[in-house]
Structure 1
């Protein structure tokens, strides 16, 4: 007999990197805009600065989303904190700084929001980043036991580091393809969820996840037809850029 499905406190609709493409990704401005559209759960990308500060950045390098250059994880927070992470998006966000996980945690807690933290390590720092992100999350949410962040990653080594450091925090394995052995890895990491490219989900995969007591989430869903297909499949979480299109009460 299958075990009982894990408790799932999270909203179904999740704002990708805060507010999708409506604001500079992974900044506090994006979280504020996503919340203004009614969203109460957000996805973000977390990595380590050279001096161990957990901050938000998707890419390994700084060029696309800041006025900086080089590998973000090779620079100290004192330098990263001075960068402009908003002008690349639009003039209205000029001067928006990079965000720390601590700052995002404070915002989410003050506004009763949930967070999906994707552990996005600088290559070669998978386990170290997983440990650091989990330790930071454990400390930041220690007074919020009812709304823990969901820690996810494409990198099993990062999730392993998170599990060893903060086993009580829920984990999810991110999948862009159904590579051989993914289910065994998800079980070994004691994941509560799998977060798949939305095109991978079909009735068979949903049944496979349910049989293993895994919650089913999808990224990044930006079209009506795709969202409806996933809703019909009964997915537990839908990550979207289109916070302006999908009402989170759907």
Structure 2
């Protein structure tokens, strides 16, 4: 059974309204009525899965240097914005379960760390959501990471993530036994959308922050959108009703 997926997904936790990839962002998304959040998971220098997008610390934290070589002792002492700290993946999972949120977990390996990141995130995802009524969705730009996650945690559903969708996208989805296609909304073509619809594969587009773009994409048949503008798209309103990945 495919996981239920609302039409709106809060990008990197709380979008532009909170420090990205933080527990504060996830809490904010839930308070605003979002039922799904997306966040990125990378390994620290000690091999701990943590929420962060960039391979380096400078943009989103008070630290400097590569995430993949920074120890937990240093990493968890940093300010990730507004006094928030970088969360452990396990903490974010527990919060999503507590709040009843669907989590789109993007496996975000630093360069050269595809296998250990996929192995850690795949195994931990299955463990952290075991028995949960709302199961997560794994996604990644790394097809290698998704392949590893498929083999280690086949019960966790997967979405294949592209910028521009390549010609062989369908064969990759089938090979990876994935359930959804994720891509840049500005680069989505009508032929790809038509083929996905014909195959019963939902298309999820990032990162949509303008109402007119959202209306156009939904009008074309896109299933769900990632947004930073949680203030513009209140998902609890009747205009944006939830749907299922398979329907």
The answer to whether TM tops 0.5 is yes
Match of 1:68 among 36, 47, 63: 63
**Distance in 2 separating the partners of 1:170 and 1:233:** 25
The equivalent residue for 1:213 is 200
After the TM superposition, which parts of structure 1 deviate over 3 Å for at least 4 consecutive aligned residues?
Answer: none
> Matched residue of 1:43: which SS?
strand
> Matched residue of 2:33: which SS?
coil
> Matched residue of 2:126: which SS?
helix
**Distance in 1 separating the partners of 2:194 and 2:119:** 32
CA contact (8 A) 2:19 2:25 kept: yes
Alignment pair present for 1:101 and 2:96: no
**Distance in 2 separating the partners of 1:42 and 1:115:** 5
The equivalent residue for 2:79 is 84
Q: How far does residue 50 in structure 1 lie from its aligned partner after superposition?
A: 1.9
Higher relative contact order (CA 8 A, sep 6+): 2
Count of residues paired in the alignment: 237
1:17-166 correspondence to structure 2 within 5 Å: 17-86=12-81, 93=82, 95-144=83-132, 146-166=133-153
1:157-236 correspondence to structure 2 within 5 Å: 157-236=144-223
Moved more, 20-29 or 212-221: 212-221
**Distance in 2 separating the partners of 1:193 and 1:217:** 7
**Distance in 1 separating the partners of 2:44 and 2:189:** 39
CA contact (8 A) 2:12 2:21 kept: yes
**Distance in 2 separating the partners of 1:128 and 1:180:** 29
The equivalent residue for 2:6 is 11
CA contact (8 A) 1:18 1:27 kept: yes
Structure 2 unaligned blocks of 5 or more: 241-247
Q: How far does residue 213 in structure 1 lie from its aligned partner after superposition?
A: 3.2
TM-score by length of 1: 0.91
* Superposition CA RMSD, Å: 1.3
Q: 1:202 to 1:8 in 2, by over 3 A?
A: farther
CA contact (8 A) 2:3 2:136 kept: no
Q: How far does residue 143 in structure 1 lie from its aligned partner after superposition?
A: 2.1
**Distance in 2 separating the partners of 1:41 and 1:164:** 25
TM-score by length of 2: 0.92
